[in-house]
Amino acid sequence: MPCISFAQNTEIVNRGTIPCMDAGLIHLALGFVGCCWLYAFPNRSRLREHFALPEEPCGDFWVHLFCTSCAICQESRELKNRGADPSISWLSNVEKWSREKVTPPIVVPGMNR
């Protein structure tokens, strides 16, 4: 279900500041009126910022507008490939990285000229 995957991704991308349950309920409610993509696309932008990913070949807004479910799947896969597990909470990921002595995968890039 897209709202669940979105909620799990949101908690990780926002480093636990937005609880999974809150994100899922908002996404679900907006889905009933057909505009969940408005809430979802900024999440994709934050994910790209965390990993310094290019906004190609299409902007985040357009990807979510035309296929929110596909975008959410891509975002979840990107988090998994980078070492974050969206199916567990942000705090559980932090504990796992600490226990395994792994540097958290989310990196904020430095300034560009």
pLDDT at 10 exceeding the cut of 60: yes
Specify the pTM: 0.84
User: What are the structure tokens assigned to 16, written together?
Assistant: 């636990």
Could you tell me if residue 78 is inside a domain?
yes
Count structural domains, the chain: 1
Could you tell me if residue 113 is inside a domain?
no
Could you tell me if residue 54 is inside a domain?
yes
Picking from 37, 47, 109, the residue whose alpha carbon sits closest to that of residue 80 is 47
pLDDT interval class at 110 (50, 70, 90):
low
Please state, for a pLDDT cut of 70, what percent of the chain lies above it: 92
Q: Which structural domain, as residue segments, surrounds residue 9?
A: 2-85
User: What are the structure tokens assigned to 39, written together?
Assistant: 């809430």
pLDDT in tens, 58-107: 888 898 888 888 899 999 999 999 889 999 999 999 999 999 888 777 66
72: three-class secondary structure by DSSP: helix
First to last CA, the chain: 41
Angle between helix axes 36-51 and 60-81 (nearest 10 degrees) is 50
